[in-house]
């Protein structure tokens, strides 16, 4: 068990960042105190939050009741004695080392001995802030991105004296507040700013050198990186002096390559304000501009990995989640070819007398491996982590292959347990529907079958082994994700977990074991309810009906997973034969007694039960063909051994996917419209 138990939060500094951080914590239902120098500043910060939340209500992001709840989770004070019982404090005061150190000295005095102290510094090392407290081991860097209530990325930074338990607790606290954490070493600029600041700086250098004019650089950058705002517009939004400060601070601690170019210094010092974006772009210069910006990005990205500050995966997640680039630097390197990327990076490195990092200096003919599924040994367990948070960890062929490789690595370690985890707000949100649609449009069923067969084979390796597997379901768990959890020996979920099998709503059926494993866990009637209705099942309900074995707060999630994973070989499950409680009785009876045909034809009465009425309504919107197919699989599977049932489910895929409802349902999902399913002949 982790000795740090984070339930309550405080944010010091009620400015732009601090107020946004507090807002996000409160939005996730957690209590937070906002602290500033005096009551007026606190009130200003609370005012910023109220305005943002009110805007959320106007734009119908929240209902007014939810907005009141969010605001109710936040209190403000300038009285530091209120911090005495807080579990995690996040500092977001001015970017001035002396100010920050004063704050940390004071926090060291007023906070309890097991409080975690986080700093949102952008340009100082965490250790330089931490060393002034009596307990530097509890100081962790938490670098948020603007706007912190909306941007999910946070860099979590340990330092040479930090306690691994404090790091893990801070990480779990970030997950609990709905963030997507990535890890960074305690190094200048951490991960994202280390390549983003030079990207901006290089744009100004190009301008200063007269390589192209401003509208051309702006347009070339947007095109090459697929972004909505170019470097100059971004500087205008965040404040041009901030870019100067950021570049100079990197330049000071790293190398003159990072220092602000003359044009940027001159622009700020002469008080020119925002850049003028007016003018026509000259497309003939796009390539030369793009090459420089790409070269800088590739050089720094590879350097970050070379120095061990970050990983290939986290560099890319940082770009996609934090900067909203459609592709991370390493994905771009693979796209244009490692050899060409190395040429571009070398051009930059040569100019500044820097070495080209090994990763791209010796490309060979291979792509850089990007692990969508990562393996690590942690706390005496094998941990496999889905690491594509911005794609909600959706399954595709590449993920399937990497999952299999990771499972094999886990087995070879001989460690006593295996945990399947994921980063971001989803555990695994189903399979890549685009892949299905593209193949069906080409009349190609074979790749779909291959995907399902490989997926089923991988899932079959997960349970009943000497090394028990536990799914650590921290968030959204849909379709193939719920089937993956079901394939594990144990399922542990956070309070934010939501399970669903929505396939019949897109014209297909669960094809990775869902029609066979679900009834064996929760009983045939409730399995029918979940599969026919696609209803979301909350964490609490999942535990009640037996879909999950336990629900644990984020701070206890890892320990709970470990306790299940260390139980030894799972003996197998027996399907329940009765409703779990009176709450579920009517649903249980309804689905035990009525067929799809009766439900669709309106001859199955709800008898006034609200849950049943809702189920009937939802079923009417699903694909009848898929419903009949699911019913047959569920009923026939109940009379078979699991393995035979899984084979049957795989065999049924062709009939399901080649029916018109499948293409219609999945296309409708991609086009964000209601599907028009065929009416069945039977009814």
Contact status: 524 vs ligand NAD (CB under 6 A): no
CB of 44 to ligand NAD, least distance (A): 7
Cβ 83 to ligand NAD shortest distance, Å:
11
Which one of residues 6, 10, 11, 14 is an interface residue with ligand NAD (CB under 6 A)? 14
Which residues, 6 or more positions from 284, have their beta carbon under 8 angstroms from its beta carbon? none
Q: Which position among 10, 11, 12, 25 is part of the footprint of ligand NAD (CB under 6 A)?
A: 12
> What Cα–Cα distance (Å) separates residue 158 from each residue in 92, 126, 127, 168?
17, 8, 9, 10
- Min. distance of Cβ 239 from ligand NAD in angstroms? 8
Written as six digits, the tokens of 667 are 């296309």
- Contact call for residues 233 and 221 (beta carbons, < 8 A): no
**Residue 379 touching ligand NAD (CB under 6 A):** no
* Rounded distance between C-alpha atoms, residue 206 and residue 110, angstroms: 50
Q: Which of 61, 63, 94, 256 binds ligand NAD (CB under 6 A)?
A: 94
Output 103 or 492, the one with its CB closest to ligand NAD.
103
Nearer to ligand NAD, 13 or 576 (CB): 13
Interacting residue with ligand NAD among 6, 13, 505, 626 (CB under 6 A): 13
Least distance CB 85 / ligand NAD (angstroms): 19
Q: Return the number of the residue (102 or 450) whose C-beta is nearest ligand NAD.
A: 102
Distances (CA, A) of 656 to 37, 356, 661, 675: 64, 52, 8, 16
- Applying CB under 6 A, which of residues 1, 61, 84, 99 lies at the interface with ligand NAD? 99
**Residue 515 makes contact with ligand NAD by CB under 6 A:** no
Among 95, 544, 589, 609, binds ligand NAD (CB under 6 A): 95
Asked if residue 36 binds ligand NAD (CB under 6 A), the reply is yes
Choosing from 26, 34, 88, 92, the residue that interacts with ligand NAD (CB under 6 A) is 92
Query: CB of residue 110 vs ligand NAD: minimum separation in angstroms?
Result: 12
CB of 121 to ligand NAD, least distance (A): 5
Nearer to ligand NAD, 122 or 560 (CB): 122
Q: Among all residues, which ones are annotated catalytic?
A: 122, 143, 155, 193
User: Taking a C-beta distance cutoff of 8 angstroms, is the pair 331, 316 a contact?
Assistant: yes
Q: Is 31 in the site for ligand NAD (CB under 6 A)?
A: no
- Report CA 617 to chain centroid distance, whole Å: 32
- The tally of CA atoms less than 13 A away on the side-chain side of residue 297 is 28
Select from 11, 25, 32, 103 the one that contacts ligand NAD (CB under 6 A). Answer: 103
**Pair 418, 565: CB distance under 8 Å:** yes
Q: How far is the CB of 312 from ligand NAD (least distance, A)?
A: 23
Residue 237 contacts ligand NAD per CB under 6 A: no
**Touching ligand NAD, residues 112-141 (CB under 6 A):** 120-122
Residue closest to 158 by CA, chosen among 168, 149, 150, 167: 167
Cβ nearer to ligand NAD, comparing 15 with 416: 15
CB of 35 to ligand NAD, least distance (A): 6
Cβ closer to ligand NAD: 14 or 653? 14
Q: Is 677 in the site for ligand NAD (CB under 6 A)?
A: no
Strand 490-493, strand 537-538: pairing: unpaired
Closest to ligand NAD by CB, 120 vs 623, is 120
Chain residues 554-583 in contact with ligand NAD, contact rule CB under 6 A: none
Cis-peptide, bond into residue 9, ω within 30° of zero: no
* Binding residue for ligand NAD, selected from 6, 10, 11, 18, defined by CB under 6 A: 18
Nearer to ligand NAD, 14 or 370 (CB): 14
Q: Give the residue with the Cβ less far from ligand NAD, 139 or 509.
A: 139
> Where does this chain touch ligand NAD (CB under 6 A) — which range of 11-19, 258-266, 361-369, 559-567?
11-19
Residue 200 CA to residue 221 CA, distance in Å, equals 10
Q: How many residues does the chain have?
A: 683
- Pair of tokens at residue 248: 């100079």
- Residue whose C-beta lies closest to ligand NAD: 15
Binding mask 137-166 for ligand NAD (x = CB under 6 A): -------x-x--------------------
Please state, in angstroms and rounded to a whole number, the distance separating the CA atoms of residues 629 and 636: 11
DSSP letter at 140 equals: E
Picking from 628, 629, 631, the residue whose alpha carbon sits closest to that of residue 651 is: 629
CA distance 381 to 459: 19
10 binds ligand NAD (CB under 6 A): no
Residue 329 interacts with ligand NAD (CB under 6 A): yes or no = no
Q: Which CB, 126 or 448, lies closer to ligand NAD?
A: 126
Please choose, from the candidates 367, 297, 311, the residue with its C-alpha nearest in 3D space to the C-alpha of residue 339: 367
In order of 7, 150, 235, 619, 664, the CA distances from 13 in angstroms are 20, 18, 24, 51, 52
Q: Are 501 and 534 in contact (CB under 8 A)?
A: yes
Whole-angstrom distance, CA of residue 647 vs CA of residue 238: 57
Q: How far is the CB of 659 from ligand NAD (least distance, A)?
A: 51
- CA distance linking residue 277 with residue 230, whole number of Å: 10
Task: Please list every residue from 480 through 509 that binds ligand NAD, using CB under 6 A.
Answer: none
Number of residues that bind ligand NAD (CB under 6 A): 22
For the sheet containing 476-478, what is the strand order? 426-429, 476-478, 498-500, 537-538
Task: For ligand NAD, give the closer residue by CB, 121 or 463.
Answer: 121
Closest distance to ligand NAD from the beta carbon of 554 (Å):
23
What is the DSSP track for 548-599? SSEE--HHHHHHHHHHHHTS-S-------SS-SSHHHHHHHHHHHH--HHHH
Candidate segments 15-23, 130-138, 219-227, 532-540, binder of ligand NAD by CB under 6 A: 15-23
d(CA 167, CA 327): 28
Q: Check residue 41 for interaction with ligand NAD (CB under 6 A).
A: yes
Q: Burial letters for 226-235: b for 16+ Cβ neighbours within 10 Å, e otherwise?
A: ebeebbbbbb
SS3 state of residue 387: coil
Segments in 160-239 forming alpha helices (H): 164-176, 192-208, 214-225, 231-238
Q: Which of 563, 559, 570, 389 is nearest to 488 (CA)?
A: 570
Check binding of 184 to ligand NAD (CB under 6 A): no
Nearer to ligand NAD, 103 or 491 (CB): 103
Among 24, 35, 28, 31, which Cα is nearest to 8's? 31
Judged by the rule CB under 6 A, the positions of this chain that interact with ligand NAD are 12-18, 35-37, 41, 92-95, 99, 103, 120-122, 144, 146
């Amino acid at each position: 068990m982790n000795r740090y138990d984070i339930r309550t939060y405080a944010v010091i500094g009620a400015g732009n960042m601090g107020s946004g951080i507090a807002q996000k914590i409160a939005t996730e239902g957690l209590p937070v105190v906002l602290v500033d120098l005096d009551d007026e500043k606190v009130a200003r910060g609370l005012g910023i939050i109220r305005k943002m939340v009110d805007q959320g209500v106007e734009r119908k992001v929240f209902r007014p009741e939810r907005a009141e709840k969010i605001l109710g989770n936040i209190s403000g004070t300038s009285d530091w004695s209120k911090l005495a019982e807080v579990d995690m404090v996040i500092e977001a005061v001015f970017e001035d080392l002396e100010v920050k150190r004063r704050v940390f000295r004071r926090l060291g005095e007023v906070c309890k001995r097991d409080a975690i102290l986080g700093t949102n510094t952008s340009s100082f090392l965490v250790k330089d802030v931490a060393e002034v407290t009596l307990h530097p081991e509890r100081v962790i860097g938490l670098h948020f991105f603007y706007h912190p209530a909306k941007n999910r990325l946070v860099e979590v930074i340990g330092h040479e004296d930090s306690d691994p338990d404090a790091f893990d607790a801070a990480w779990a606290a970030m997950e609990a507040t709905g963030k997507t954490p990535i890890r960074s070493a305690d190094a200048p600029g951490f991960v994202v700013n280390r390549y983003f600041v030079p990207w901006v700086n290089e744009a100004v250098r190009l301008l200063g050198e007269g390589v192209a004019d401003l509208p051309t650089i702006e347009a070339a950058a947007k095109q090459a990186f697929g972004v909505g705002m170019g470097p100059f517009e971004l500087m205008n939004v965040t404040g041009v002096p901030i870019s100067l400060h950021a570049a100079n601070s990197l330049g000071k601690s790293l190398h003159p390559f990072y220092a602000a170019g003359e044009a940027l210094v001159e622009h700020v010092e002469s008080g020119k304000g925002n850049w003028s974006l007016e003018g026509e772009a000259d497309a003939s210069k796009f390539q030369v501009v793009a090459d420089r910006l790409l070269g800088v990005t590739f050089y720094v990205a590879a350097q970050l990995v070379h120095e061990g500050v970050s990983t290939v995966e986290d560099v890319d997640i940082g770009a996609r989640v934090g900067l909203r680039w459609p592709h991370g630097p390493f994905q771009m390197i693979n796209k244009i070819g490692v050899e060409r990327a190395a040429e571009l990076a070398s051009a930059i490195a040569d100019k500044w007398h820097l070495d080209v990092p090994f990763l791209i200096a010796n490309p060979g003919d291979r792509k850089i491996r990007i692990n969508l599924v990562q393996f690590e040994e942690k706390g005496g367990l094998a941990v496999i982590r889905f690491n594509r948070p911005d794609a909600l960890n959706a399954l595709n062929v590449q993920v399937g292959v990497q999952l299999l490789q990771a499972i094999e690595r886990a087995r070879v370690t001989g460690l006593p347990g295996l945990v399947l985890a994921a980063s971001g707000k989803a555990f695994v949100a189903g399979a890549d529907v685009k892949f299905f649609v593209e193949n069906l449009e080409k009349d190609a069923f074979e790749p779909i079958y291959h995907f399902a067969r490989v997926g089923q084979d991988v899932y079959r390796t997960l349970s009943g082994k000497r090394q028990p597997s536990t799914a650590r379901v921290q968030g959204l768990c849909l379709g193939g994700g719920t089937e993956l959890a079901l394939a594990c020996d144990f399922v542990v979920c956070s309070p934010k977990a939501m399970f669903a099998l929505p396939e019949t709503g897109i014209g297909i059926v669960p094809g990775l074991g869902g029609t066979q494993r679900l009834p064996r866990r929760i009983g045939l009637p409730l399995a029918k309810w979940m599969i026919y209705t696609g209803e979301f099942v909350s964490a609490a309900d999942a535990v009640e009906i037996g879909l999950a074995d336990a629900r644990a707060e984020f701070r206890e999630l890892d320990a709970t997973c470990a306790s299940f994973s260390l139980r030894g070989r799972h003996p197998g499950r027996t399907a329940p034969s009765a409703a779990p409680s009176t709450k579920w009785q009517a649903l249980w009876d309804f689905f035990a007694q009525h067929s799809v045909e009766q439900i669709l034809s309106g001859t199955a009465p709800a008898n006034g039960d609200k849950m049943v009425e809702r189920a009937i309504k939802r079923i009417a919107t699903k694909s009848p063909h898929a419903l009949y197919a699911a019913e047959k699989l569920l009923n026939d599977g109940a009379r078979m051994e699991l393995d035979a049932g899984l084979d049957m489910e795989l065999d049924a895929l062709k009939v399901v996917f080649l029916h018109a409802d499948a293409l219609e349902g999945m296309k409708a999902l991609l086009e964000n419209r209601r599907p028009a399913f065929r009416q069945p002949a039977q009814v």
